């Protein structure tokens, strides 16, 4: 399932990907409650993921603090480090772009998650390493979990286990779903 979903995403044209990114921004801003939110965890897109950069620009304009996940150690929870406009990013563990080790550690109110696939019940399929599941389980308070993906990444059903963390929302270029 993971390979099929990645192939679907990779088959999208670059113009369609950019159009989807712009549409997803508007859907996110119109539907995700941001009034009491200060810190938002984003991600730096890789492997044809839906780019979040247009959304991050809009969130910065709304004076939201943005942070990115940093994998510190294999098979351990991630931390989230502050990312401000103009900050250089480094290649972290698994070649994931992240702020450097001097960036402030933040606790997000919302975590926007990349994913490989999602289903109609709010289950997500990631890359199989469990970093987001471990991280959310380790947090002292529950952030709002928002999947951010192309609509073509939807699958009929994702088998999940007790440690898998379901989404609260899914935002695509076509719609928002609340679970």
pLDDT over 90 at 48, yes or no: yes
**% of the chain exceeding 90 in pLDDT:** 84
pTM of the model: 0.94
| Domain CATH for 45 | 3.40.50.10420
Q: How many CB atoms lie within 10 A of CB 134?
A: 15
> CA-to-CA distance for 127 and 115, rounded, in angstroms?
7
**Residue 128 predicted with pLDDT over 80:** no
Q: 63-80 b/e with 16+ CB inside 10 Å = b?
A: ebbbbbbbbeeeeebbbb
Q: Alpha helix locations (H) across the chain?
A: 2-10, 14-31, 53-61, 131-138
Nearest to residue 44, comparing CAs of 35, 36, 52?
A: 52
Query: What is the C-alpha separation between 25 and 87, in angstroms, rounded?
Result: 22
Query: Above 90 in pLDDT, residue 127?
Result: no
- Counting the structural domains of the chain, the total is 1
8-state DSSP, 41: E
Average of per-residue pLDDT across 117-121: 96
Domain extent at residue 9 = 2-178
């Amino acid at each position: 399932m993971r390979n099929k979903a990645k192939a679907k995403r990779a088959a999208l044209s670059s113009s369609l990907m950019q159009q989807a990114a712009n549409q997803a921004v508007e859907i996110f801003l119109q539907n995700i409650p941001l009034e009491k939110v200060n810190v938002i965890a984003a991600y730096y897109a890789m492997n044809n993921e839906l780019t979040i950069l247009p959304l991050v620009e809009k969130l910065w304009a709304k004076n939201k603090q943005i942070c990115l996940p940093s994998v510190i150690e294999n098979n351990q929870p991630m931390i989230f480090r502050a990312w401000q406009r103009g900050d250089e990013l480094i290649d972290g563990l698994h070649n994931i772009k992240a702020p450097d080790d001097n960036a402030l550690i933040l606790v997000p109110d919302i975590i926007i998650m990349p994913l490989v696939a999602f289903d109609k019940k709010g289950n997500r399929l990631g890359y199989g390493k469990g970093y987001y599941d471990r991280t959310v389980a380790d947090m002292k308070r529950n952030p709002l979990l928002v999947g951010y993906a192309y609509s073509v990444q939807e699958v009929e059903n994702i088998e999940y286990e007790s440690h898998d963390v379901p989404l609260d929302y899914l935002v695509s270029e076509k719609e928002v779903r609340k679970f």
